[in-house]
């Protein structure tokens, strides 16, 4: 029975193949019919092939875009680096110009130098500068930058000197509020800040007031700019105000300084 069915199936296939090869067999209409039935299958494979080739084209395009993106990123990094260098040079030029103007306008004998080392134990409390006793630097000499007070030399070697910054908690400076005849004492605070103490509650100090050295006590010369009043608090039960001072200098990026030489 199975053989008979198989034989019958083979005969039918042979007849269909014969019909397909008889020219276009317009009169039978079989070829067109067969092709019309098989066409969707061909279309499926054609579309599939197109989709596959498109998929690989997209992969190639993605790889190309990634290369282009990396190249553009590298160019951007180079450009940003150049801008950073120019910005750094501009800041240094501005500071050197300010130093020069200060030197011309002041009566001090000044030694210019670089900051060569930050104290790792407390980066905001002290720095080492590149001049020492060989250059005439002495213990207690005052250090400035762009006309602003930096600190005071407390250790001096032949080629270098250590400077305690005005923001060091151990630093105490006789100070005054500019143009207001208000005196007090500035002290360093942890976190690169300053406070001004010993200012009576009845004195009118406001945000934005400028604070400079008063010259009292003789440790610091008069008129060196320290910072700007950032906050003022009236403390209940106290006869003094609590005043926060923002230094004019960013001591974390300090670079060029000048030592005021004493005769």
| pLDDT single digits (tens) 206-229 | 999 999 999 999 999 999 999 999
pLDDT bracket for residue 72 (50, 70, 90): confident
118-161 pLDDT, tens digit per residue, is: 876 665 589 999 999 999 999 999 999 988 999 999 999 999 99
Computed over every residue of the chain, the mean pLDDT equals 77
What is the rounded CA–CA span in Å between residue 217 and residue 116? 30
The answer to whether the CB of 198 falls within 8 A of the CB of 242 is no
| Residue 163 and residue 126 in contact, taking contact as beta carbons nearer than 8 Å | yes
Q: What are 227-245's pLDDT values in tens digits? A: 999 999 988 889 999 999 9
Check pLDDT > 50 for residue 113. Answer: yes
Contact 184, 135 (CB under 8 A): no
- The domain 111-263 is placed in CATH, from the list 3.40.50.12780, 2.40.50.140, 2.40.10.340, 1.25.40.10, at 2.40.10.340
* Residue 109: per-residue pLDDT: 87
Rg of the chain, C-alpha, whole Å: 42
Residue ranges of the domains in the chain?
A: 1-105, 111-263
Distances (CA, A) of 85 to 113, 154, 249: 21, 33, 20
Higher local confidence (pLDDT), 88 or 210: 210
Among 50-64, 75-89, 154-168, 181-195, the range with the most confident prediction by mean pLDDT is 154-168
What is the structure's pLDDT at 29? 45
Given this model, what pLDDT does residue 187 score? Answer: 94
Q: For residue 105, what pLDDT is reported?
A: 54
CB neighbours (10 Å) of residue 106?
16
- pLDDT tens sequence across 159-204: 999 999 999 998 999 999 999 999 999 999 877 789 999 999 999 9
Average pLDDT (91-110) is 61
pLDDT tops 80 at residue 247 = yes
């Amino acid at each position: 029975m199975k053989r008979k069915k198989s034989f019958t199936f083979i005969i039918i296939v042979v007849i269909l193949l014969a019909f397909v090869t008889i020219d276009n067999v317009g009169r039978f209409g079989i070829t067109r019919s067969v092709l019309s039935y098989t066409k969707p299958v061909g279309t499926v494979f054609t579309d599939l092939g197109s989709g596959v080739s498109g998929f690989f084209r997209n992969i190639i395009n993605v790889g190309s875009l990634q290369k282009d993106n990396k190249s553009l990123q590298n160019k951007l990094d180079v450009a940003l680096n150049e801008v950073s260098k120019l910005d750094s040079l501009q800041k240094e030029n501005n500071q050197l110009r300010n130093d020069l103007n200060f030197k011309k306008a002041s009566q001090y004998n000044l030694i210019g130098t670089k900051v060569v080392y930050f104290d790792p134990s407390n980066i905001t409390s002290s720095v080492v500068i590149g001049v020492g006793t060989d250059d005439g630097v002495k213990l207690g000499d005052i250090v400035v930058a762009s006309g602003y007070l930096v600190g005071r030399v407390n250790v001096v070697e032949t080629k270098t000197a250590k400077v305690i910054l005005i923001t060091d908690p151990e630093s105490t400076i006789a100070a005054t509020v500019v143009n207001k005849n208000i005196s007090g004492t500035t002290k360093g605070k942890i976190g690169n800040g300053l406070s001004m103490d010993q200012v009576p509650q009845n004195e009118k100090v406001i945000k934005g007031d400028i604070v400079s050295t008063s010259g009292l006590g003789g440790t610091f010369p008069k008129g060196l700019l320290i910072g700007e009043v950032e906050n003022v608090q009236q403390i209940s039960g106290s006869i003094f105000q609590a005043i926060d001072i923002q230094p004019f200098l960013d001591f974390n990026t300090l670079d060029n300084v000048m030592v005021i030489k004493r005769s």
